[in-house]
Amino acid sequence: MGPVLILCLGNPLRRDDAVALHVAARLSARPEPGVEVRTSARAGLYLLDDMEGFDRVVVVDAVRTGAAPPGTVHALPLEAIHAPEGPSPHAIGLPSAVARARAAGAPVPSRIQLVAVEVEILDEVGEGLTPAVAAAVPAVESAARAAARALAGAAG
């Protein structure tokens, strides 16, 4: 079985949306065997290109559910997310993109785990994480490493 991909999503110019990029830097500073770390600012169907060639993927991202305070880390399989469809095929979320690709018979990873951190500012242009989100970066890193280890030990 090939390596596990940790795909960290974010935009460095959208405040807390960059949290996964900070996590990627920490993961890359202490690499683990059998794990590849990549970053992407893409969304929807384009994320499938970023995952091409991998059977097991951990996606690290920012999320604002309002159900938990900023800095809260969520770890769950992609199948547990029930995201609404976007307003167009260009604005669909990862769960919908994976479902559509599978329905079309396109190759997609068999196991996708999401590690997300509740953020405070997701849609404001600027640099720098808010304090609660910055403080959560080590916990997000740990959760991403744990998810990758679990996927590495799991059969597809």
Q: Give tens-digit pLDDT for 110-126.
A: 999 999 999 998 888 99
Angle between helices 131-152 and 19-29 (to 10 degrees): 50
Strands 111-118 and 73-77: antiparallel
Encoding tokens for residue 134? 């910055």
Pairwise pLDDT comparison (108 vs 91), residue with the higher score = 108
Output the pLDDT for position 118. 94
| Pairwise CA distance, residues 86 & 1, whole Å | 34
Strand residue runs (E) in 33-97: 35-40, 56-63, 73-77
Q: What are phi and psi of 66, to 5 degrees?
A: 80, -5
Output the pLDDT for position 42. 87
Q: Mean of the pLDDT values across residues 4-31?
A: 95
Encoding tokens for residue 1? 């079985």
- Are 71 and 132 spatial neighbours (Cβ–Cβ below 8 Å)? yes
pLDDT above 60: residue 155: no
Q: Which pTM was predicted? A: 0.90
pLDDT above 70: residue 59: yes
Pairwise pLDDT comparison (122 vs 23), residue with the higher score = 23
Nearest to 112 by CA among 152, 68, 44, 59: 59
Q: Predicted confidence band at 90 (pLDDT cuts at 50, 70, 90)?
A: very low
**Averaged pLDDT of the chain:** 88
Write down all domains in the chain, each with its CATH number in brackets.
4-153 (3.40.50.1450)
